[in-house]
Structure 1
Amino acid sequence: MDTIPAYERDPYAATLETRVLRTGAEQGRPFAILEDTILYPEGGGQPADRGTLGGVTVLDVQKREGEIRHFLASPLAEGPALMELDWTRRFDHMQQHTGQHLLTAVAQDRFGWGTTAFHLGAAVCDIEVTAASMSLRDLEVLEEAVAAEIRACRGISARRVSPETYKLEAVRSRGLPEGHTGDIRLVQIAGVDLNTCGGTHLRHTGEIEVLKLLGTEPIRGGTRLFYVAGRRARLRLDAHEKRNAALRALLGAPDEDLAPALQTKLDQLQAAERRVRRLEDDLAEVQATALATRPEALVEAHLEGRDMAFLQKLAKQAVSAAPTKAVFLTSETGGQGLFLLSAGEACALDVPALGKAVAALLGAKGGGSGKTFQGKAPGLAARAEALARLREG
């Protein structure tokens, strides 16, 4: 491979005629070492590129012991091979990464906030800065300042310098990687920033398109600042617009009234849920009285659609009113069978043993101790057999 790989010489190259020099496997994953590559290997906070090599999908690209390994979906033979880059993914990374350089520079120059970390996520990016906190006004000022530099279409260039020249440059950097030797790559945003970086970047700030700050959270004494840039920002806005359109249709309210309209619906739902709970309490009390007054020692009932909480409430009230009785309750809800066996304090029924027997008959999972055993079953087809087993004692 050339001293400078193709992804660095021309980050806009989407195809490359290259050659597979050597193949191997790492932990069962086949990889290829190439003569040259347009696929960026993971590093510096930027994820690895994706693409194809000789028609085979490249799953990952990593630096290992001075070489670049292209991990493949299947083994590939040595020899010439056409490499194709997933350009949409790459350009997204270029927008996010270049946006980070600009955001870091403006945050430092405008507020004195140093950047200590960068993360290019699949959906959202973030930088960690030394600010203990940020106000909403700070974020507004920062975002506007970044937008001004995007509109200025400031040129972006990369060059390599010797360690001696590097010491003479006015570089904004968190420092070189541990053990680094040889030339140092500098990325410059004209009139704004000069930084060490090995990643892929845009030609000018105008290609960032837009950078939107999303929010913050405290971290390690500083602040994590979330953002999206470029096409991600447009896709995010599109998703918000579609979501708002759906909410407008559901709530019958314009955008500015969606939150109040939703709050009204939630208040109404909570009030309805409270009424339902009161009605369920009343129903449980009536049904518990009916169960407690039945003559048999083991009373049973099937209550379609009731949850376990209702079965527990009903059983508790029934055996409290009739301590010498046992209660067997079942329900089917959401395609699942529920059962509960409970005995009063004066009832001699061996609930744990019989509960396990019922669970076995129903093919259920359950448990309990003392006076109550409950469980969930795929269905209640064997309910009659379970009831017969309980009546045997």
Structure 2
Amino acid sequence: MATAILLQPRTPPDYHRIASSKLTIPSDPEVSIPVGILACDPLLRSLDTTVVSATIVQPPAAAAEKSKKATKKAVAAPSLPTEPLLHVQLHDTVIFPEGGGQPTDIGTLTVKADGSSWEVLQAKRHGGHAVHYVRVKGDADAALKAFAPGTEVTVALGDEGYERRYDHMSMHTSQHLLSALLETRLDVPTLSWSLTTYPSPCYVEVPRGLTAEEVLSIQNEANRLVFEGRKVHVEVEELDNSAEPTQVQKTESGRAIGKALPEDYTGGVKRVVVIDGVDRNPCCGTHLPSIHNLQLFLLPHTEALSRSSTTNARLYFLAGPRLITYLTSTHNIAARTSAIMSCGPPLLPERVSQVVEERKKVEKRVNDLEAELAEQIAKTVLADQATKAGEGLVATHLHRVEDSTNALGFLSSVASAVSSKAEKYLSSRPYLFVLSSTPSTQTQNTSSVVLVIGSDDKIVKQIGDALKVKVGIKGGGKGPRWSGKYTGVWKATKENTAIADVLNEMQS
């Protein structure tokens, strides 16, 4: 029986290209390789290297707190503990230090001498070199001893770290492809981009909205290039720190397009990512060696963003693992919905439209019936009060058990009917009606509604104030109406009795 053998993907030998005869990669294990030429194989998962330096650092309280705050869209860096951390600098590393819009990798450091494994929470660029933020295990002095300069270690991404890296590379390389096509095909520059938290779509921010036709044309062109399997490579050369800083291009509104090199980027290299025949773009991030598996899906709309006198837009996109997750999720949703609607996925829009139309008809019928019922209740209540002798204030309470989605709306219909018919049944006698409604099933968090109407604004306010104090109803009103809400279990022997007592006092 044949057995499938899964081979690890390999990066082509010409992926990393040194474009200058003056630039060499340091081979001395006591020297840290600059950012930009670290472990030049983007698919490499682990690497044997040596420790250059290690220090114990106490994270500032503000920084530790900031690391815990995740935004809705941007990728949040892994949290840093408040206790001391090891800052470890290696000769080389496969763990990417955040930069270029791409978040930090995570991974482990394993000391070869004793096999101890240490968690790398983040990696950041300090000047032109990568520093690993390592969680301290036990005594700080022992941790420093474990990572003494010259110590041989294995730095690795691990399964979780590699999946994270692969996702980031897929989205980052796709963004380069997308931005290049927007610029060359539509003359639309990318103002910024955001690598959002998995599995959300990432987005590029552009100076104007795009039509559905423009979005589709860019998507088709991108996927034609993906089908061709355009290669990606990196070119590096020495960084000329004596040169004038690169001026960032700006739009007519003054908005910057992209970013220049950070001011503290010293000792590194100048690095350009090239998609063959498509794009050349300075970038320090990690990228796949080919776009052949990066089928690009653009959400067919742009989200408008108004900022002072300009209106920018966001175009969302998916590729790689995020696209697979998106397709799986949407398929499952469609399949579950189809089962509920008893039809195949192609018929879902038609069947949902039918259900919506039927629901509208049902809601109209319910509204009509509630209006008829409100009229009938008002007639019954007024007729009953009209039979009672007396010339003073007509005051009564009507309580109903209703499972209506809009109980207050129904009581308002009853109140309106009462107001319109009061003169006919009660002549000129003053009146005060308290209407209340509770659902059939109640808990301590159940909300019951109360509506007060009357012929005298002053009396309505007095009864409302009394209901607040003696029944615990929270509410307010103006003129001849007052409404409120009661939270808890409404008991006829308690709340109804309390309302009756308030009304009796009012009549007195």
TM-score bracket, normalised by the shorter chain, equals 0.7 to 0.9
Aligned to 2:485: 376
- Residue 261 of structure 2 corresponds to residue 177 of structure 1: yes
Q: 1:302 aligns with which of 399, 403, 415?
A: 399
Percent identity over the alignment is 25
CA, structure 1 residues 83+358, in 2 after alignment: closer, same or farther (shift >3 Å)? farther
- Computing the radius of gyration from Cα coordinates, the structure with the larger value is 2
SS in 2 for 1:154: coil
* Alignment TM-score, normalising by the size of structure 1: 0.82
Corresponding residue number in structure 1 for 2:225: 149
Per-residue deviation, 1:340: 2.2
Pair 1:115-2:228 in alignment: no
Residues 40 and 49 in structure 1, CA contact (< 8 A), matched pair in contact too: yes
Aligned twin of 2:503: 390
How far off is 1:32 after superposition? 4.3
Deviates more, 1:375-384 or 1:275-284: 375-384
Q: Distance in 2 between matches of 1:76 and 1:364?
A: 60
- Residue 187 (1) aligns with residue 273 (2): yes
The verdict on how the C-alpha distance between 1:71 and 1:369 changes in structure 2, with shifts beyond 3 A counting, is: farther
Aligned residues: 385
Provide the rounded CA distance (Å) in 2 between the counterparts of 1:50 and 1:358. 61
Contact conserved, 2:299 with 2:316, CA < 8 A, in 1? yes
Q: Distance in 1 between matches of 2:126 and 2:476?
A: 53
1:23 paired to 2:57: yes
Structure 2 gaps, min length 5: 1-30, 65-81, 110-116, 148-154, 250-256, 389-393, 423-428
- What residue is the counterpart of 2:20 in the other structure? none
2:234 equivalent in structure 1: 158
2:359 is matched with: 269
Counterpart CA distance in 2 for 1:199 and 1:45 is 8
Q: How does 1:351-362 map to 2 (within 5 A)?
A: 351-362=460-471
The answer to whether 1:250 aligns with 2:351 is no
Q: How does 1:1-393 map to 2 (within 5 A)?
A: 2-4=32-34, 8-9=38-39, 10-14=41-45, 21-27=55-61, 29=64, 30=82, 31-36=85-90, 38-50=94-106, 58=121, 68=131, 70=133, 77=140, 78-79=143-144, 80=146, 84=157, 86-122=161-197, 123-129=200-206, 132=208, 134-163=210-239, 174=258, 176-177=260-261, 179=263, 183-208=269-294, 210-217=295-302, 218-219=304-305, 220=310, 223-295=313-385, 297-305=394-402, 306=404, 307-322=407-422, 324-333=430-439, 335=442, 336-346=446-456, 349=459, 351-379=460-488, 380-381=490-491, 382-387=494-499, 388-393=501-506
Task: Give the CA deviation at 1:328.
Answer: 1.6
Contact conserved, 2:89 with 2:131, CA < 8 A, in 1? no
CA RMSD in angstroms, aligned pairs only: 3.6
Q: What whole-Å deviation, never above 9, does each CA across 1:323-348 have from its counterpart, x for those lacking one?
A: 62211222223742323242422586
> Which amino acid counterpart does residue 411 of structure 2 have in structure 1?
L
Higher relative contact order (CA 8 A, sep 6+): 2
Counterpart residue identity of residue 197, structure 1? C
- Give the TM-score taking structure 2 as reference length: 0.65
Aligned 8 A contact 1:328 1:339 in 2: no
Larger strand share, 1 or 2: 1
Query: 3-state SS of the aligned residue for 1:195?
Result: strand
Cα deviation, 1:172-224, whole Å, max 9, x if unaligned, reads 9945235355532222223332211111211222243x111112325545653
Q: Is the 8 A contact 1:176 1:196 kept in 2?
A: no
Structure 1: 5+ residue stretches without partners: none
In structure 1, give the amino acid aligned to 2:232: I
Change (3 A) 1:301 1:211: same
One-letter code aligned to 1:89: R
**Letter matched to residue 127 of structure 1:** V
State the alpha-carbon separation in 2 of the partners of residues 141 and 317 from structure 1: 60
- Distance in 1 separating the partners of 2:132 and 2:476: 53
Structure 1 CA distance for aligned equivalents of residues 212 and 457 of structure 2: 66
Task: Could you list the structure 1 runs, at least 4 aligned residues long, displaced by more than 6 angstroms after superposition.
Answer: 16-19, 64-67, 71-76
Closer/same/farther in 2, CA of residues 212 and 392 from structure 1, 3 Å limit:
same
> For residues 198 and 364 of structure 1, do their structure 2 counterparts lie closer, same or farther at Cα, with a shift above 3 Å needed?
farther
